[in-house]
Structure 1
Amino acid sequence: MTQTDLDGRLALVSGASRGIGRAMALELAKAGAHVIATARTTGGLEELDDDIVKAGGSCTIVPLDLMSPDGIEKLGGVITERWEKLDILLANAGSLGVLTPASQVKSKTWHDVIGVNLMAPARMIRAFEPLLLASDAGRAVFISSGAASSRRAFWAPYAASKAALDALVESWANEHVNNPNIRINTVYPGALRTQMRSKAFPGENPDTLPEPSALWPTIAELVSPDCTRNGETVKFDG
């Protein structure tokens, strides 16, 4: 794959303090994008900012709890005032919840998992669509999961929320099927060496899994101004 040139482009990454989000934020910055990095963990964002600067890139960190009632919307307002557009949205933040029988899932778990995995992306669509449309090549990528279709036992909240996310994103992409200036896709990252993966599969040896940075060529294609794919679920096979 040729080097992706994102010089001068503005990218927003949620869940950027660790795992896939952190790795992709760093790669986006290395490719020339100015990265707006959001997460709840300020310390993790500051470390990311340091690494981006060391790599010669630029970053704006925004501590943000996606469950706050108006945080996403306020961020949309700030981006509108400061940059007037958004070229790349990478909606990565996710919540696994608790792996337990569906009959034992507490209402708070449902609220939290659905809130982060479905409601937050839905609010991002509302807040950031005008900014993506203001770009000459708006690109939106949502990190989903194969759990949306495998629907394994004891994964009900996560599987349900990701299946709903897939439906949301595909429906939104179909709204813009005739607008080549915005492309919207979903990615199944598969098994990568992340904290969430360790939580889901505690007996697995993480050294057998690829680092999150291995996902970059897949993401790079989808955020490139040259990308023509839309409404697809792209599966990374490692």
Structure 2
Amino acid sequence: MSKIALVTGASRGLGFALAEALAKTHHVVAVARTTGALEDLDDKIQASGGQATLAPMDITNEGAMAQLCRSIYDRWGSIDLWLHTAVHAAPLTPAAHIDAKDWAKSIAINATSMGLLIPYVSPLLGETGTAVLFDDQTIGEKFHGSYAASKAAQMSLAKAWARETETTGPRVLIETPPAMSTATRSRFHPGEDRSALAHPRDVAAELLARVINA
């Protein structure tokens, strides 16, 4: 049976690149809200001889996440790898002008969803699976308030989980990728010279080589 990898946030950027690369060795369960982007991913995976299960759903929907994880359990019993790249990049704004809807969406996607997903995904990973979560360096940067605060909450929970499972598993890794040419980066740094940025495919290949072979 193929190894199973769950990628949340698989429709673009690093998540898309990770899912595409993983399909060479794993059956990929690709989660994202954008159906069209998931279908593009599936086309690429099938063209390279891989297989994927598409799950077009919102990670903030607790019922949908519970159903997805139950379906994974019923079909495969467990997963080998979980990579969580889903993120909401709220518009940059001074802290005194944060929009309430952007704040709520940032907290829901970047923080609250982590509190939903870890309890659901951890049993699927068991003692031997690996979870990979992604940090960045925006805490305290001006105009990044809602994004950085919600990511800080996410990382606080992730780091606690990593320490709690050091001796029992699953293995929980927190990675900080280099600056990449992605839509999120463009939103935060419009007009930046993108030629100087890393390509998500290169970052995915390097990361997976370390994670899978470790």
Give the TM-score normalised by the residue count of structure 2: 0.94
Contact 1:91 1:121 in 2 (8 A): no
Q: Gaps spanning 5+ residues in structure 1: where?
A: 1-6, 228-238
In 2, Cα distance between equivalents of 1:22 and 1:139: 19
Compute the displacement of 1:89 (Å): 0.6
- Give SS of 1:207's match: helix
Residue 146 of structure 1: aligned partner = 137
Contact 2:31 2:57 in 1 (8 A): yes
In the TM superposition, what whole-angstrom CA distance separates every residue of 1:141-188 from its partner, at most 9, and x where no partner exists? Answer: 01221114xx20010111111111221111011111112x42101111
Counterpart selection for 1:212 from 186, 196, 200: 200
Residue 127 of structure 1: aligned partner = 120
In 2, Cα distance between equivalents of 1:61 and 1:74: 14
**Alignment of structure 1 residues 51-200 onto 2, 5 Å:** 51-133=44-126, 137-148=128-139, 151-179=140-168, 181-200=169-188
Number of aligned residue pairs: 213
The yes-or-no answer on 1:202 pairing with 2:190 is yes
Q: Gaps spanning 5+ residues in structure 2: where?
A: none
- Give SS of 1:220's match: helix
Compute the displacement of 1:208 (Å): 2.1
Compute the displacement of 1:40 (Å): 0.7
**Alignment of structure 1 residues 4-23 onto 2, 5 Å:** 8-23=2-17
In 1, Cα distance between equivalents of 2:195 and 2:30: 27
Opposite residue 143 of structure 1, the aligned amino acid is F
Identity value in percent: 37
Show structure 1 runs of 4+ deviating over 4 A.
Answer: none
In 2, Cα distance between equivalents of 1:196 and 1:130: 31
Opposite residue 175 of structure 2, the aligned amino acid is V
Compute the displacement of 1:70 (Å): 1.7
Compute the displacement of 1:197 (Å): 0.6
In 2, Cα distance between equivalents of 1:138 and 1:90: 11
Residue 28 of structure 1: aligned partner = 22
In 1, Cα distance between equivalents of 2:208 and 2:50: 18
Compute the displacement of 1:85 (Å): 0.3
In 1, Cα distance between equivalents of 2:51 and 2:13: 19
